[in-house]
């Protein structure tokens, strides 16, 4: 009986192991591209706003409330924040009273002046007091209006730098407004590559964070090099009507210089191609059933972080670019 129980236990364990399935391995993949641009240059860039505006109060005071949040779209003239206006209202009330008194005095002395009963010097003095009162009234009105902070331009709120209850100083930024209707992609270019880039150099920009790829526009070339890296900042203008591209996003930039040629070959990132012990080059191709298969390939020239695939793959095949260290023949993958 004991022997029979042991046999049944071993059989049960064997069945469980046979029935268990290994979980798929998560990898990153890329489709094999149709063309390879020889002499093209690949760089990494950072998305920047077209213009940033720091919005601030002109006077000092306690912020009563901030009406916008970071990332919010605002229109020109929209109310952004308010400052405690108690003192400004009191000053306005005093200025209005002074103006009313001066206007009343002017009306009473007007009759005497018209009859010739008022010395000219006194009449000029009365007019001066009215002008002073009017000036003080305008200043008081402006001070009250300045307690309301409005957007000078339309844009997206980038940062909110002052909170309700804090004291805002003159010219201290309360919020920053970013214009991202069009953006710029900043790329650091080595000094040796600057000669091949002009304001009209063709470029393609890919931002994986939002799955967007577009052709770059006009290029602005910096003329001052970084003292440490000896690179120059180049900015590529790009339209952003849907406002999906946000400042700080990483972009893959490819410049296609005047000497570039498109040759008949397929391309992949260099990291996707590996070398076996016998010296053969291979990749991990993903089949239609979601399994990885070791596939030998022939390669050509490299440019930047891409390499030409001259044989072994077809356009549209899916190849593993990251996570291949855990793969073996027939491994199930997800991507």
Nearest to 262 by CA among 93, 33, 26, 28: 33
Assigned token pair, 100: 């009313």
| C-alpha span between 38 and 301 (Å, rounded) | 8
* DSSP codes joined into one string, 3-45: HHHHHHHHHHHHHHHHH--PPPEE-EEEEPBS-EEET-EEEEE
Task: Please say whether the beta carbons of 188 and 229 come within 8 A.
Answer: yes
- Per-residue pLDDT 10s for the chain (335 aa) are 454 444 444 444 444 444 446 788 999 998 887 655 555 678 999 999 999 999 999 999 999 999 999 989 999 999 999 999 999 999 999 999 999 999 988 988 888 888 888 888 888 889 999 999 999 999 999 999 999 999 999 899 999 999 999 999 998 999 999 999 999 999 999 988 888 888 988 899 999 999 898 999 999 999 999 998 899 999 999 999 888 999 999 999 988 765 554 444 677 888 889 998 888 999 999 998 999 999 999 988 776 567 888 889 988 899 999 998 989 999 999 98
- Looking at residue 101, the DSSP 8-state letter turns out to be H
Task: Please say whether the beta carbons of 268 and 307 come within 8 A.
Answer: yes
**Taking the chain, what is the end-to-end CA distance rounded to the nearest angstrom?**
51
3 state SS of 259 = coil
CA 228 from centre of chain = 26
| C-alpha span between 219 and 214 (Å, rounded) | 14
Tell me what pLDDT residue 23 has: 86
Nearest to 47 by CA among 239, 177, 269: 239
Assigned token pair, 147: 């307690």
Assigned token pair, 130: 């009215």
3-state secondary structure 109-147: HHHHHHCCCCCHHHHHHHHHHHHHHHHHHHHHHHHHHCC
3 state SS of 58 = coil
pTM beyond cutoff 0.75: no
- Looking at residue 224, the DSSP 8-state letter turns out to be S
Domains in the chain: ranges and CATH: 23-36+264-334 (2.40.420.20), 38-50+182-261 (2.40.30.170), 52-83+148-176 (2.40.50.100), 86-145 (1.10.287.470)
Task: Please say whether the beta carbons of 273 and 307 come within 8 A.
Answer: yes
Tell me what pLDDT residue 88 has: 93
| C-alpha span between 202 and 212 (Å, rounded) | 17
Burial of 285 (0-12, 13-18, 19+ CB in 10 A): buried
- What 62-68 contacts at long range (C-beta under 8 Å, 24+ apart), as own/partner pairs, is 62/165, 62/166, 62/167, 62/168, 63/162, 63/163, 63/164, 63/165, 63/166, 63/167, 63/168, 63/174, 64/164, 65/164, 66/160, 66/162, 66/163, 66/164, 66/174, 66/175, 68/157, 68/160, 68/175
């Amino acid at each position: 009986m004991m022997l029979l129980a042991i046999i049944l236990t071993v059989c049960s364990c064997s069945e469980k192991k046979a029935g268990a399935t290994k979980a798929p391995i998560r990898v990153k993949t890329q489709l094999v591209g149709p063309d390879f641009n020889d002499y093209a240059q690949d760089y990494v860039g950072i998305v920047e706003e077209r213009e940033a505006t720091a919005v601030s109060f002109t006077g000092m005071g306690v912020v009563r409330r901030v009406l916008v949040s970071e990332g919010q779209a605002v229109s020109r003239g929209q109310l952004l924040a308010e400052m405690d206006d108690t003192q400004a209202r009191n000053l306005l009330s005093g200025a209005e009273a002074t103006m009313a008194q001066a206007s009343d005095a002017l009306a009473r002395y007007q009759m005497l002046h018209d009859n010739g009963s008022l010395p000219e010097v006194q009449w000029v003095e009365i007019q001066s007091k009215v002008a002073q009162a009017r000036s003080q009234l305008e200043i008081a009105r402006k001070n009250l209006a300045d307690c309301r902070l409005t957007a000078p331009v339309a844009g997206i709120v980038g940062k909110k730098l002052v909170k309700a209850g804090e004291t805002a100083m003159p010219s201290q930024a309360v919020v920053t407004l970013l214009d991202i209707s069009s953006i710029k992609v900043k790329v650091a270019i080595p000094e040796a590559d600057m000669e091949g880039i002009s304001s009209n150099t063709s470029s393609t920009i890919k931002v994986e964070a939002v799955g967007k790829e577009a052709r770059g526009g006009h290029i602005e070339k910096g003329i001052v090099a970084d003292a440490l890296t000896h690179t120059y900042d180049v900015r590529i203008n790009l339209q952003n009507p849907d406002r999906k591209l946000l400042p700080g996003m990483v972009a893959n930039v490819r410049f296609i210089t005047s000497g570039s040629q498109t040759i008949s070959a397929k391309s992949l990132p260099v990291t996707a191609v590996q070398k076996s012990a016998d010296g053969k080059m291979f990749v991990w191709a993903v089949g239609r059933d979601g399994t990885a298969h070791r596939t030998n390939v022939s390669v050509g020239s490299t440019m930047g972080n891409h390499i030409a695939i001259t044989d072994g793959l077809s356009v549209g095949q899916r190849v593993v670019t990251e996570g291949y260290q855990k793969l073996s023949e027939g491994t199930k993958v997800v991507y």
